[in-house]
Amino acid sequence: MRVGLLTREYPPDVYGGAGVHVEFLARELRPLVDLEVHCWGEGRTDGVRRHRPWPALDGANDALRTFSVDLAMAEALEGRELVHSHTWYANLGGHLAKELYGIPHVVTAHSLEPLRPWKAEQLGGGYALSGWAERIAVEAADAVIAVSGAMREDILGCYPALDPARVHVVHNGIDTRLYRPDPGTDALDRIGLDRSRPYVLFVGRITRQKGVPQLLRAVRGIDPAAQVVLCAGAPDTPEIEREFHETYEELSRERVGVHWIPRMLPRPEVIQLLTHAAVFVCPSVYEPLGIVNLEAMACGTPVVASRTGGIPEVVEDGATGVLVEVDDDFEAGLARALDSVLGDPEAARRMGEEGRERAAGEFGWDAVARRTVRLYEEILKQA
């Protein structure tokens, strides 16, 4: 089965959950199908072809630059039997290949443009184009994979013209051989953490979707003994970057032990930070699933997360962490939940152990890949 996998992010250029998903899915698909990955970047290696935006569009709106990559991807997919695209950055490429070569197109929806209106702040008029590309691809796709049950409901709500029978739930996965408790502490020492004090950890992009401003305000009032570690980079816009800087500076003046790491850390260092955190926090206001919660759970760490999207399908309230309603009391609710975990180390230990067990037992990437290949086979039989 000759499959083309389309994505913006692919190692070494991974900055979000969709990139993590594609990285591990591709690894598990390779023994099962003839896989060729098409992604952004320079050069070509075995099984991976990288494409860059057309130089003539340097400085143009990001949506137009994305479409130039989509055109290059579509041209390069000749000879593939099926194409599978991830995120709006690659959806149009998959749709064009479907039309050009008469092959099935599978879309995995990691998020939905209509539910991310703050993207207009980042893309300007390009947000209308990103929404158009996603809609065209999703409505014409032979199958749409939702990464959670909540995401499936969102897809059908945003795209009512889509036949529900074509929308399938295949949860994100986690490699629990890679993400596992690491007793090492060298990464903590390099950051300058006080190992005698607990710390709250956030890992994610500086974007309104991830609830970063709300988190910075929420942690002002938590237990003063707790440190706060923010692995936060890749701001969506200069405006939210400035807002983050200002709020971070205010927080640093009010609390001792606030650490900001503005760069993407190597995975082994992230695993160490996850392992030793007293609690991991995911304050997203929109999250189809949230792979980072699985990463924390696999490292044996309790999670405080917003009760939104697919997060409740991963984090079991009271068992592997604490869920917080996204409402007018959200910031205060985050603070209360964090304090409840910080204040009961024994309960936190039990949550971490149960989280590790749940991640390993229910979210393995090998199972995700097998379910994906079965879907490919079903579609090809119908083609």
pLDDT 10s digits, 8-40: 999 998 887 889 899 999 999 999 999 999 999
Does 131 have pLDDT greater than 80? yes
pLDDT in tens, 51-110: 999 999 999 999 999 999 999 999 999 999 999 999 999 999 999 999 999 999 999 999
Of 69-73, 110-114, 244-248, 263-267, the range with the highest mean pLDDT is 69-73
* Topology agreement, domain 2-173+364-382 and domain 186-362: yes
Query: Tens digits of per-residue pLDDT, 275-298?
Result: 999 999 999 998 888 889 999 999
The model's confidence at residue 172, banded by pLDDT at 50, 70 and 90, is confident
What's the distance, Cα to Cα, between the start and end of the chain in Å?
Answer: 13
Q: Which of 47, 72, 309 is nearest to 171 (CA)?
A: 309
Please name the helix (run of DSSP H) or strand (run of DSSP E) that holds residue 249, with its range, or none.
helix 238-254
Domain map (residue ranges) of the chain: 2-173+364-382, 186-362
pLDDT band (50, 70, 90) for residue 223: very high
Q: Enter the DSSP assignment of 311.
A: G
Sign of CA dihedral 69, 75, 77, 81: positive
Rounded to two decimals, the pTM is 0.79
What is residue 17's predicted lDDT score, i.e. its pLDDT? 82
Distance separating alpha carbons of residues 211 and 215, to the nearest angstrom: 6
C-alpha 42/C-alpha 159 separation (Å) is 34
- Give the C-alpha separation, 269 to 185, whole Å: 9
- Angle, vertex CA 147, rays to CA 144 and CA 149, nearest 5: 95
DSSP type of residue 13: B
- More confident: 234 or 72: 72
Q: In whole angstroms, how large is the CA radius of gyration of the chain?
A: 21
Measured in whole angstroms, the distance separating CA 103 from the mean position of its chain's CA atoms is 28
Domain 2-173+364-382, what architecture?
3-Layer(aba) Sandwich (3.40)
CA–CA separation, 179 vs 182, rounded Å?
Answer: 9
Closest by alpha carbon to 261, among 220, 306, 201? Answer: 201
Q: Residue 330 is which amino acid? A: F
Q: Average pLDDT, whole number, for the chain?
A: 94
H or E element in which residue 323 lies = strand 321-324
Please say if the pLDDT value at position 225 is more than 90: yes
* CATH (one of 3.40.50.1820, 3.40.50.2000, 3.30.470.20, 3.30.365.10) for 186-362: 3.40.50.2000
